[in-house]
Amino acid sequence: MIAYKFLAAGGVGPFSRYPWPLPRPGAPGAWVAGAGGATVCHDAVHACRATDLPWWLQDELWEAELGGAVTPGRHKVMAPRARLLRRVDGWEAACAQRFADACAGRARDHAVTALDRAGASEPARALAACATPREIRAAVVAAYIAAHAAARVDGDGAMAAERAWQSDWLRTELRLDA
Helix, strand, or coil (residue 32): strand
CA dist., res. 15 & res. 177, Å (int): 26
At 112-161, the pLDDT tens digits run 887 778 676 776 777 888 888 777 765 445 566 777 788 888 888 998 99
Average pLDDT, the chain: 86
The domain spans of the chain are 2-87, 93-174
Q: What angle do CA 56, 58, 60 make, to 5 degrees?
A: 120
Q: What is the distance between the alpha carbons of residues 44 and 101, in angstroms, rounded to a whole number?
A: 34
| pLDDT: which is higher, 22 or 145 | 22
Model pLDDT for residues 147-173, shown as the tens digit of each residue: 778 888 888 899 899 888 888 887 888
Distance, C-alpha 49 to centroid of its chain: 10
Residue 144 confidence (pLDDT): 67
Reported as a pLDDT band with limits 50, 70 and 90, residue 42 is: low
Q: Which amino acid, residue 51?
A: T
For residue 139, what pLDDT is reported? 46
Q: Does residue 19 contact residue 11 with C-beta atoms inside 8 Å?
A: yes
Length of the chain: 178
Phi-psi region of 150 (alpha: psi -120 to 50; beta: other; left: phi over 0): alpha
